[in-house]
Amino acid sequence: MKKLVMSGLVLSATLAAPAFALEHEVVIDHADGPIAADYRGAVTIETTQTGTAGVAGRPSTLACRWTATLNVERVAKVGEDLRSRRMLSREDVARGSKPGWCETNAKAIDRLVDARSETIRAVLLALVEQDRAEILAEAESAARNSRGA
């Protein structure tokens, strides 16, 4: 039975929990009017338990490996006609490993991710900049469709 439990720990279960939220707003000038885009992001942390608890006299190999993913929802509006929604994501914005059980390290991992908030915010701003072309393309497409109709 112990081997089965330890095997389960080695294979591990992945847990996901939101760490902190991010927000950003931009206004893009466009011929049909300004485009207001709101970005709401959340960082999720996935943990994977690895290793085994050591028996008496042997060291433990338990470790909690974690990775943080940034998920961003964008809502853009051009006037009253166009409302566009898009999901953006960037995996592996932060990663690490802590010795021991994932459950007992959850708060410590949250603090590690919080300490990297400036780096994660920079990733958010990079996603916003990359999304600019997509927003403009959607606005142009909507303008062509409304003129052709």
Token pair for 86: 């898009």
The partner residues of 9 in beta bridges, in order of sequence, read none
pLDDT, tens digit (0-9, with 9 covering 90-100), for 44-76: 999 999 998 878 878 889 999 999 999 999 999
Domain containing 71: what range? 2-148
- Work out the average pLDDT over 89-110: 95
Number of separate domains in the chain: 1
Q: Is the pLDDT of residue 8 over 50?
A: no
pTM: 0.75
Burial of residue 2, with CB atoms counted within 10 A of its CB: 0-12 exposed, 13-18 middle, 19 or more buried: exposed
CA–CA distance, 27 with 35 (Å, rounded to integer): 5
Token pair for 36: 């207001």
Give every CB contact of residue 23 below 8 A, 6+ residues apart in sequence. Answer: 38, 39, 40, 41
Mean pLDDT of the chain: 83
- Work out the average pLDDT over 93-117: 94
CA angle 108, 113, 115 (to 5 degrees): 95
